[in-house]
Chain A
Amino acid sequence: MRRPINKKGNILTQNIIFIVLNLVFLLILVLFLVSKSGGAAVLEEKYAKQMALILDSVEPGMVISLNMEDAIKIANKENRDLDDVIDVQDNIVTVQLREKGGYSYSFFNDIDYGNDFSIYLNTSSRKEYIIFIEP
């Protein structure tokens, strides 16, 4: 059965509403995906584990640079002091990007923070942390 043509242009309006609603729906999904994949908790875990693996494998005299731009952006948003983002107690490294948060992971290499190695923010780029192992 043929539909009568709507001379007032209702079909066009309906199509526009339909497309706009679809786009809004897609936008919400994309925002959800982005917020989940770049969330503070995910980054804290990622960098704590990465840091632990680096410290497990280091040798005397090594200087390692770890780019943490995405984590630093979040820490800045949360007004965290960038010197407090990474903390090492005994053989447990903690990355904390928020006031209420943080992720800790242990490493098995018996190296002493402060004596055998140090971790500090690269002050020129402010995007990466430098892990310096004493020779």
Chain B
Amino acid sequence: MIKNNKGEKIISIYWFVILFIVAAAVVYMVISFYGEPYDIRELEANALTNKVAMCLSNAGYLEEGVLGADFKENFIERCSFNFETEDIYGWGERGQYYVEINFYDFLTDQKNSTIKTGNEALKTDCGLEGKGFPFCLERSLYLLDGEKNHKYQIDILSIVRKTEKNVQ
């Protein structure tokens, strides 16, 4: 505390209180901002959807054998996916990805086939609001089947959880 000759408080205790409050506010804001992890799940889900779409299509046409049973069973290998994750937060037992592809006849709107892979339980959390829920992305594309001359609408649902590393 600095006083002049006549005892007037030049820098009083109140000044330090104000300094402390401002410093505490700045520290709190900085820590809460930089303490928050980067949330890249939307980018991951987009990349996942793009990779699925590229795997299914070839220049606007359905890739050969996509609607067959073999492709459905070996989807992960055929499209070069690896859904293994870090073995922390219980991720080893609980998959962090889910992909569902529905093939519809474009004219009749009838479902032809479905491919599902990953942790299907994540699907129940889609649409729920809150920080602890996975990120879900739905996209559609239209493809032609060159052999049968069919038109297909393909709905791709991509889900990425990884909540602990992207949201706090």
* A interface residues with partner B (beta carbon < 8 Å): 6, 10, 14, 17-18, 21, 25, 28-29, 32-33, 36-37, 39, 42, 45-46, 49, 52-53, 56-57, 90-92, 104-106, 108-111
Q: Assess the B81–A25 pair: CB atoms within 8 A.
A: no
Q: Assess the A32–B81 pair: CB atoms within 8 A.
A: no
Provide the bound-state CA to CA distance between A128 and B39, in Å: 24
Q: Assess the A49–B40 pair: CB atoms within 8 A.
A: yes
Question: Could you pull out 8 A-B pairs where Cβ atoms are within 8 angstroms?
Answer: A18-B10, A53-B44, A92-B85, A108-B44, A108-B81, A108-B83, A109-B51, A109-B80
Q: Assess the B34–A111 pair: CB atoms within 8 A.
A: no
Kindly name the residue among B23, B81, B83, B85 whose own CB sees the greatest number of chain A CB atoms within 10 A. Answer: B85
Q: Assess the B34–A36 pair: CB atoms within 8 A.
A: yes
Provide the bound-state CA to CA distance between A56 and B83, in Å: 11
B86 interface neighbour in A6, A10, A53, A104, Cβ under 8 Å: A104
Q: Assess the A56–B51 pair: CB atoms within 8 A.
A: yes
Contacts of A36 in B (CB 8 A): 30-31, 34
Q: Name the distance in Å between B9's Cβ and chain A's nearest Cβ.
A: 11
B11 interface neighbour in A18, A28, A29, A45, Cβ under 8 Å: A18
Q: Is B165 an interface residue (CB 8 A)?
A: yes
* B interface residues with partner A (beta carbon < 8 Å): 2, 4-5, 10-11, 19, 23, 26-27, 30-31, 34, 37-38, 40, 43-44, 47-48, 50-51, 76-77, 80-86, 96-97, 165
Provide the bound-state CA to CA distance between A56 and B162, in Å: 15
Q: A53-B43, A108-B81, A110-B81 are in contact. Are A45 and B4 (CB under 8 A)?
A: no
Contacts of B76 in A (CB 8 A): 110
Q: Please, which residue of chain A has its CB at the minimum distance from the CB of B88? A: A104
A46 interface neighbour in B10, B38, B47, B165, Cβ under 8 Å: B38
Q: Assess the A29–B23 pair: CB atoms within 8 A.
A: yes
A108 interface neighbour in B31, B34, B86, B97, Cβ under 8 Å: B97
Q: A6-B4, A14-B4, A56-B51 are in contact. Are A106 and B85 (CB under 8 A)?
A: yes
A110 interface neighbour in B30, B47, B80, Cβ under 8 Å: B80
Q: Please, which residue of chain B has its CB at the minimum distance from the CB of A22? A: B19
Q: A17-B11, A25-B19, A49-B40 are in contact. Are A108 and B30 (CB under 8 A)?
A: no
Q: Name the distance in Å between B57's Cβ and chain A's nearest Cβ.
A: 15
- With A57-B47, A110-B76 given, name 16 new contacts (CB 8 A): A14-B4, A17-B2, A21-B11, A36-B34, A42-B34, A46-B38, A52-B40, A53-B44, A91-B84, A92-B86, A104-B86, A105-B165, A108-B44, A108-B48, A108-B51, A109-B80
